[in-house]
Amino acid sequence: MKIKLADLIMDPLLVKLRPVNLVFVSRYRQAYRSEKDLGDIIINKKTKEIVSGNHRVTALLQEYDGDKVIEVAAIIFPTRKAVLEKFVQENADHGNPLSGFSRKLIAQELTKEGMTTERIANLFGVSAGRIVDWAGENVIVLGESKPAKRGVPIGSSMTKKEYSTHVKRDRGISAYSQAEQLTRWINQGLIRLDCTKTINALSELQVALNKFFKKQKAA
């Protein structure tokens, strides 16, 4: 099926589950300039929503105008579960694979759609036990259990705003690893003293740590 780039629609849920990474968009732009074939972009024939290809379509839109016509694979998906299943199959194992956090989010959505733990495990190529583990690695946001990135204590509570910041900005590593690395960088003189943003951030960290240890001592 041929369609104008401007007529393609990004599925809000799929973008939420796997945000567009501009680093990969840039790589794909370079690939398209070299006339490389990056595979079929898959869309939902009924809605024209992109099921596989958000990064590639973003790259094409940045390289060309919306009037450019491209060839896509248009498929009829009978259910939302079928869309999610295809999304996983297309993105689980290639040069820009799904992150661990995206996998947790998608697994949760598939569970809501009625897919069995065994089938979800098969889709991701992991054990059923791992899917159960993902389901338990959650935090509580306004009484609702939501997937959290690695390193956050299981069962912690967050406000909606705090969870949004966690999703957008936190890295999936433990406080121990972050503290160990920062300490090493400071001791090795790897911190740029001429970077105002870095010095301000370290000053804020110092204030937060002073409050943290004062609170711990009082307890």
What pLDDT sits at residue 135?
86
Q: Which of 136, 155, 184 is the last residue of a domain?
A: 136
- State the Cα–Cα distance between residues 162 and 157, nearest whole angstrom: 9
- 96 pLDDT above the threshold of 80: no
Cα distances from 219 to residues 24, 25, 165, 181, 214, in angstroms, run 47, 49, 28, 28, 9
> What is the percentage of the chain residues whose pLDDT exceeds 90?
73
Q: Is the pLDDT of residue 99 over 80?
A: yes
Q: How many CB atoms lie under 10 A from the CB of residue 118? A: 11
Q: Is residue 161 part of a domain?
A: no
Q: What is the pLDDT of residue 24?
A: 92
Supply the pLDDT for residue 95: 60
Q: Is the same domain home to 52 and 114?
A: yes
Domain co-membership, 193 together with 101: no
Averaged pLDDT of the chain? 92
How far is it, in rounded angstroms, from Cα 53 to Cα 55?
5
Tally of CB atoms within 10 A around 151: 14
In a domain, 45, yes or no: yes
pLDDT of residue 87: 95
Final residue in a domain of this structure, among 81, 116, 136? 136
Residue 182 within any structural domain of the chain: yes
Averaged pLDDT for residues 181-207: 93
Helix axes 80-91, 100-112, angle to 10 degrees: 160
Residue 94 has pLDDT above 70, yes or no: no
In a domain, 34, yes or no: yes
Picking from 147, 143, 153, 161, the residue whose alpha carbon sits closest to that of residue 109 is 147
Looking at the fold, whether 119 and 193 belong to one and the same domain comes out as no
122 and 188 fall within a common domain = no
Please, which pLDDT band fits residue 111 given cuts at 50, 70 and 90?
very high
pLDDT digits (tens, 9 = 90+) for 32-86: 999 998 999 999 999 999 999 999 999 999 999 899 999 999 999 999 999 999 9
Let me know whether 54 and 120 are in one domain. Answer: yes
pLDDT value at 184 more than 90: yes
- Domain range for 108 is 2-136
Domain boundary among the residues 121, 136, 151 is at 136
Q: Within a domain: residue 199?
A: yes
Cα angle for residues 158, 143, 120 (degrees, 5° grid): 90
Would 209 be classed as within a structural domain? yes
- In this structure, are strands 42-44 and 73-75 parallel, antiparallel, or unpaired? parallel
In a domain, 146, yes or no: no
Do 188 and 113 lie in a common domain?
no
Q: Please report whether residue 67 resides in a domain.
A: yes
User: Per residue in 198-214, pLDDT tens?
Assistant: 999 999 999 999 999 98
Task: State whether 120 and 185 are in the same domain.
Answer: no
Residues 110 and 202 in one domain: no
**Number of domains composing the chain:** 2
- Say if residue 93's pLDDT is above 70: no
Are residue 182 and residue 76 in the same domain, yes or no? no
